[in-house]
Structure 1
Amino acid sequence: MKLEEKYIPPSSKLMADYTNEEPKILQYFSYKPSLEQARTRLESLESHPVDRKRLASIIEGYMEPFGISEASRKNLAHFEAGASVVVTGQQAGLLTGPLYTVHKAISSILLAKEASEKLDTPVVPVFWIAGEDHDLAEICHIYRETNGRVEKLNYPHAKLGKCAASYAPLKTGEIESFLEEYFRSLPETAHTKEIHSLVFGHLGKADTFTSFFASLLNHFFEKEGLLYIDAAYDQLRAYESSFFTKIIENSGAIAETVVEAETALQKDGYSAGIDAKEEAAHLFITIEGERLLLERDGSRFAVKNTALSYTEQELLDIAKREPQRLSNNVVTRPLMQDLVFPVLAFVGGPGEIAYWAALKGAFDVMGMEMPIVMPRLNVSLVDRRTAALLDKRGLSFEDVVVERKIPQLRNELLDHIRDEETEAKIDKVKQGLAEEYEELVSRFTAVSAGLTPLAEKNLRIHLNQLDFLKNKLQDEVAIQNSTQFNQLAAIENALLPEGGLQERVYNPVPYLNQYGAALVEDLLALPLNYDTTHKIVIL
C-alpha cells in the first residue's frame, strides 16, 4: 500500500474558498477549518450542559448488541470523565454506502487523535447515524462494475413508504438474494470467501438498514474506539426531549435566520443548497409509522400534505411525552447534535459544509456557538490493475480526475485507427448522391409539386443508410481494437465512475475483495496528513 497526496481543486466555489480560508466565506462560520483555535473552542465547551453519565449509558446501550471493544469502552470512560468529541455522520447505506462514509469515520478518528495531542486531553470520535432519514431511495442501492459498465443495483423499498431507516425491516430472503447477486459480479479472489462471510455474518445479526450499517462499521473500526449513536434510538430521543422543546419554541426565529443566511450567501456568490422557507418548522413527526414534514401555519404546526395540525402546546406535549415521534431535518440535525454532545469539531463533506454555512444564526438563536467545521479527507483507492493501466498509458491520477482526459484519448484513438479511406469513399458517395438527387428532385417537382416531399424523403433515407454503414464500420474497427478502448474504460470506471469521484459511488466491498479484510485498518496506519490534499492510495 502506497500513499500519494495531491491537491485536487474542490468542485464548488464555497468549498474552494472555505479551504483557502477566504474571509468572505469564513464570516458564516465561528472558526477556521483547522485546529488552530481548538483551545478556544474547548474552553467554550466548559459551560455546555451534558449529563455525561446518562449519555454514556445511552451510547453503551446502543452499541452493546454490536459488541463494544476495549478501545470503545476506554473512549466511553473518557467521555463520561469530561472529554469533548469530534462528530461525523451519515445515512445508513447498504454495505456502509459510498466509500466516503468510511473516509468520514477515518477523518473523525484522525482528527480526534490530532486534537488530543494538541490539547493534551482526550478527545473522542463519534459517528452520528442518521437513522431517522426516510428517503430510502438514497440508501437502497449499490453500484458495481460489470462488463465494462458501471451499473446501479436497486434494492426494492417502495413498500416501506416513508418509514425511517432505523425502523425499515430488512426482509431476510430479499436482502440475501440481492447481496448474493452483487457478490456474483465480483471477481473471485483469495479474499472473496472471507469478505462474503464477513458481510453475511453481520447481515445475520441485523433486522433493519441501520443495524446492518452499524454492525459493519463497528467491525471496521473496533480497534479505534469509534463510538456510535443512532439519531432514531429511543433512549437518545428521550434524552433529547428538552432540546426538542427548545427547537419548537425557537422554530420561527430559526427559520427566519436560515432564510436570511441563504440570501446573504447567494449575494456573495455561494449556495447553501437548503432552499429554506420562512414557514419551515425544520422538524418531522411520525404518524402511523410514516415520517412527515411539519410546517408553521400561523400559530399552528401543520403536517404537510395532510389536514392534520398541532398547536405549539400540543407539539411541546409530544416533545415531553413522546419525543420518539419527533425528528430533525438538515437544519435542526446539527443543532440537535451540538445540544446533545460537547462538539469540539464536526467533520463533513462538501454538501454538509454548504448547509452549515447557513446555520450560524440558528446556533446563535439556540444560545450556542458553531463548532469547528472540518472538511473530511478525500481519498481514492487505486487497485493494482488500474495502477498498471495508468502506467502503461503514461497517465497520472490528475490526468484522469482533474483534466478528464479519457474522452479525449478515446477520440484520439478512434481517429488513429479509423478506416479513413473507406469513410472518405462513403462521404464521396453521399455527396454525389445529393448532387444527383438535386436534379432528380427538380424533375419530380416539374411533374407535380406533390412529389417533391417524396423525393426529398427518399434522399434522406439513402443518406441515413450510408451514415449507418459508416457508423457500423467505426464500430467494427473499435471492436477489433477493443483492448485499448476497454483499458481506457477500466481506468475511467475505477477512478471517475459515472463522471464523479470514486468515493461517491462505490462501497468498500470491491476493495476488501481485492485487498483483504485488513484494508480499513491499513488505511488508518498510513501517514495521512489532515489537510486539503487528495489521498491517492495505491493498493
Structure 2
Amino acid sequence: MKGNCYTKMQKDTITYSETGYFSKLICHYLDQDERVTPFYHRFPSLENFEAQIIEKQAWFSSASRNALVTSLEKQYEQFSVSDATQLHIEKLSAATTFTITTGHQLNLFTGPLYFLYKIIHTITLSRKLKQQHPNYDFVPVYWMATEDHDFDEINYFRFKGSKIQWNREDGGAVGELSTEGLDAVLELFSTALGSSKNAQYLASLFEEAYIKHSNLADATRYLANELFGEYGLVIVDGNDVGLKTLFAPYVERELFEEVAHQTVNSQTEKLTALGYPEQVHPREINLFYIIKGIRERIIRDGNDFVVNNTEIRFTETEIRSELQAYPERFSPNALLRPLFQEIILPNLTYIGGGGELAYWFQLKSCFEAMEVPFPMVLLRNSALIRTEKQKKKTEALSITDSQLFLKQNELVNQKIRAISNIDIDLSKQRQFLQEQFKEMHTLAAETDASFIGAVKAQEVKQLKGLDHLEQRLLRAQKRKLKDQVQRVVDIQNAVFPLQSLQERNTNFAEFYLEFGTDLVPALLECLDPLGGEFTLVTL
C-alpha cells in the first residue's frame, strides 16, 4: 500500500507477518485468531472503545482521579509545562477524561528509535478518539519505568554505527541514579554530531536533560517533555507516594494471597498448550522492596518476609505496618506493573511492543481476580525510515518491500537466482530424483524388504548431493556477480543496521540531524494509530 503524508514524505505499508520479525502469537492476535481471543478483553478496534470507556468510567473513582492529579502536579513542579500538557493534567479530574498509555525504560537519550513511535502512537490515537467521541477527552501518557534496575539495558544508544555508552556502577532503581559522569558522554556525542544547526540543538538538548538534572528520572522527563510537550503528553512516574498509596491494597493481597502466581500460571499453561511461549514467569510474590540504592525481591520465609540479598526481615504484622507507613517502598515487578498502571490511571489502551503484549496476554485472569478492568492492548507502530535515494536504489535493484525484510543470505540468494543467466534452482532435478526413487522403494518392497533402508539411504545421499551442487552454483554466481551482490548488501545494511530492525537499534538523532523539527510532525502524520501494518516512511 502507498500513500503520501507530511510534506515530501511518502509511506508504504506491509503486513507484520510479511516482515518476518513478529511472533506467531502477535500475528495471530492482529488477525483476531480465535485461539488468542481468550487472553484479552476487547480488540482495539475503533468501534470497541465506547464499551471500554463505559466500563472504565464506572470503575475508576473520583478519589483516584484527584490523587492522580495531585501527584502529577507535584511531579511537574520543577518543570516548564506546556499549555497542552497542563490542560490535560487538569482534565484528568473529570469523569469524561481517559488515558492512552505507553511505557518505556529510561534509555539514555531515548535509546532506540521506537521510543518515538510508542509516544507518537499515544498522541495519534488520542486525537483519533477525540474525533470519534467529541464528548470525551483522551490524554496521551508516557509511563516512565523509573523503578527498573536493569542498568545495562539503558546505559547506551547507537549513533551512526557507534555505541555511545555511560559507564558507571549501577544499583537500586534506575530513576534515582545520579547523572554524574554524563558530561563525558556529552563530549563524545558532541564530537560525533558535528557542528550543524540541528547538531547544536541535539547537543544542547542532551546537556539540558542530563547535565542540568541530578537524576535519571528528571532527565528523562525533561527530554520527553521537550520532544512531545507541545502535543500534550503527560509523563507519569509511578515511584510516587500518592500513587503507591492507591496501589497498597493490591500489594497486600499479593503479599498474603500470592494472587499473580496462581492466576498467571493458569493462564500461561493455556497459552503454552497452544504453542505460544511464556514471556514472563511469575514468582510467588511479584514485588520488590525499594529504598535508596536497593531494589530486591520480597520472599516469603515461613511466616516471615525477607528482602533478598539483605538482612531485612518482617513478620506478617511488621510488613503490614511497613506497607501502611511507607507504600512507596513496595515496587511491582514487570508482571505486576501493568496492574499498578491500570489501578492509578483512567486508562483505555496500553500500547506496547510484541514482547510487552505477550506478557499482557498472561495477565487477564490476574486482573479478573483483582477485579480491575483489563485494558485493550495495542501493538505499537513499527516503521522503517529511508531516504528517497535509498528507495530508488531498492527499486533499481528490483527489491520489493517484503524482500527487503528477508535475512540477508536469503535476500542475496533470491537476487542471484533472479539475475543469473543460468538456472540455479535444482527443484526439477530433485522432483525427478524423488519420482525415480519411488519406483525403487516399490521394487525393494516387492523383492526383499531388507533393501528398503538401503534404498532410502541412497535417496538421502543423492538429494544431499544435489543440495551441495546447488550451493556451489550459488557461490560461483555470487563471485561472478559480486558487484550486484554488494549493492544488494549495501542497501539492506543501510536500512537494517546490525541486520536487524532499524527501530530497535538507531537513535532518533540520526534523522533529526537531517530533518530537524520536521521529523516528529511528519511521523505523526504518517503513522496510522489503528492501521495494523508495518510502515515504510520515505523522506
Match among 27, 31, 34 for residue 45 of structure 2 = 34
**In structure 2, do the counterparts of structure 1 residues 214 and 288 end up closer, same or farther at CA, with 3 Å as the change threshold?**
closer
1:24 match: secondary structure:
coil
Q: Structure 1 residue aligned with 2:102, among 88, 92, 95?
A: 88
Residues 101 and 85 (structure 1), Cα distance of their counterparts in 2 relative to 1, 3 Å cut = same
> For residues 273 and 529 of structure 1, what CA distance do their matches in structure 2 show?
25
Amino acid at match of 1:191: N
* Equivalent residue for 2:205, pick from 198, 210, 216: 198
CA distance in 1 between counterparts of 2:177 and 2:325 reads 24
Structure 1 distance, partners of 2:308, 2:413, is 51
Partners of 1:178 and 1:493 in 2: CA distance: 27
Q: Partner of 1:7 in structure 2?
A: 15
| Within-5 A mapping of 1:371-382 | 371-382=375-386
Residue identity matched to 1:325:
R
The yes-or-no answer on 1:180 pairing with 2:187 is yes
2:74 is matched by which residue type in structure 1? G
**Is contact 1:75–1:225 with CA below 8 Å preserved after alignment?**
yes
SS in 1 for 2:300: strand
* Per-residue Cα deviation, 1:265-310 (whole angstroms, up to 9, x for no partner): 1101112311224xx2110002552110122334333323445432
Measured in 1, the distance between the counterparts of 2:30 and 2:129 equals 19
1:49 and 2:57 aligned: no
Secondary structure of 1:134 counterpart: coil
Q: Indicate the residue corresponding to 1:433 in structure 2.
A: none
The one of 226, 237, 243 equivalent to 2:233 is 226
1:267 pairs with 2:273? yes
Match of 2:92 among 79, 83, 87: 79
The change in CA–CA distance for 1:404 and 1:11 in structure 2 (over 3 A counts) is farther
Cα distance change, pair 328–529 in 1 and its aligned pair in 2 (3 A): closer
Distance in 2 separating the partners of 1:151 and 1:412: 31
> Does the 8 Å CA contact 2:121/2:529 hold for their aligned counterparts?
no
Matched position secondary structure for 1:274: coil
Counterpart position of 1:142: 157
Q: Which amino acid aligns with 1:90?
A: H
Partner of 2:317: 313
Runs of at least 5 residues in structure 1 that lack an aligned partner in the other structure: 417-473
Cα deviation 1:117-147 (Å, max 9, x = unaligned):
32331121111111000111110011233xx
* Alpha-carbon spacing, 1:204–1:299, altered in 2? closer, same or farther (3 Å): same
How far does the alpha carbon of each residue in 1:331-383 deviate from its partner, in whole angstroms, 9 at most, with x for none? Answer: 11011111111211111110111001110111012111211111111111113
Report what 1:303 is aligned to: 307
Whether the 8 Å CA contact 1:110–1:530 is kept in 2: the answer is no
Distance in structure 2 (CA, Å) of the matches to 1:198 and 1:308 = 41
Q: Is the Cα contact below 8 Å between 1:18 and 1:33 reproduced in 2? A: no
Q: TM-score, normalised by structure 2?
A: 0.79
Q: What is the rounded CA distance, in whole Å, between the counterparts of 2:395 and 2:188 in structure 1?
A: 33
SS at the partner of 1:143?
Answer: strand
Matches within 5 A, 1:209-248: 209-248=216-255
1:497 maps to 497
1:474-513 to structure 2, matched below 5 A, reads 488-513=488-513
| Gapped regions of structure 2 (runs ≥ 5) | 1-8, 421-474
Is 1:253 the equivalent of 2:264? no
Name the CA distance, whole Å, in 1 between partners of 2:92 and 2:379: 24
Structure 2 residue identity aligned to 1:32: F
Q: Which amino acid aligns with 1:138?
A: E
Aligned match for 1:125, one of 140, 148, 152: 140
Secondary structure in 2 aligned to 1:347?
strand
Q: Percent identity?
A: 25
Q: Deviations over 1:224-258 (max 9, x none)?
A: 111111122344334544443344344x1221111
- Inter-partner Cα distance in structure 2 for 1:138 and 1:13: 25
Q: Could you say which residue in structure 2 is the equivalent of 1:66?
A: 79
Q: Deviations over 1:64-108 (max 9, x none)?
A: 433211111221222111211111111111111211111111111
Answer yes or no: is the 8 Å Cα contact 1:103–1:377 preserved in 2. yes
The residue that corresponds to 1:108 in the other structure is 122
Work out whether residues 159 and 509 of structure 2, in 8 Å CA contact, stay in contact via their aligned partners in 1: no
Q: Over residues 184-211 of structure 1, what are the superposed CA-to-partner deviations in whole Å (9 max), with x where a residue is unaligned? A: 3346655222322233233333222222
Q: Indicate the SS of the match to 1:80.
A: coil
Runs of 4 or more consecutive aligned structure 1 residues displaced over 6 Å after TM superposition: 481-486
Aligned-partner residue type, residue 192 of structure 1: A
Between the aligned partners of 2:286 and 2:263, the Cα distance in structure 1 is 12
Mark the CA change 1:50 to 1:281 in structure 2 (over 3 Å): closer, same or farther: farther
Superposed displacement of residue 398, structure 1: 2.2
- Deviations for 1:382-424, whole angstroms, at most 9, x for unmatched residues? 13453343244333332221464676269959x99xxxxxxxx
Task: Indicate the larger mover: 124-133 or 229-238.
Answer: 229-238
Match runs of 1:142-161 below 5 Å: 142-145=157-160, 150-157=161-168, 159-160=169-170
Matching residue of 1:343? 347
Residue 58 to residue 168, structure 1, CA distance change in 2 (3 Å): same
Length, aligned pairs only = 467
- Select between 345-354 and 286-295 the one with higher mean Cα deviation: 286-295
Say what the alpha-carbon RMSD is for the aligned residues.
2.9
The 5-angstrom pairing of residues 353-432 of structure 1 reads 353-402=357-406, 404=408, 408=412, 412=416
What residue in structure 2 maps to residue 421 of structure 1?
Answer: none
1:483/1:410 CA distance change after superposition, 3 Å: farther
8 Å CA contact retained: 1:93, 1:209:
no
The answer as to whether partners of 1:31 and 1:37 remain within 8 angstroms in 2 is yes
Q: Secondary structure at 2:498's aligned position in 1?
A: helix
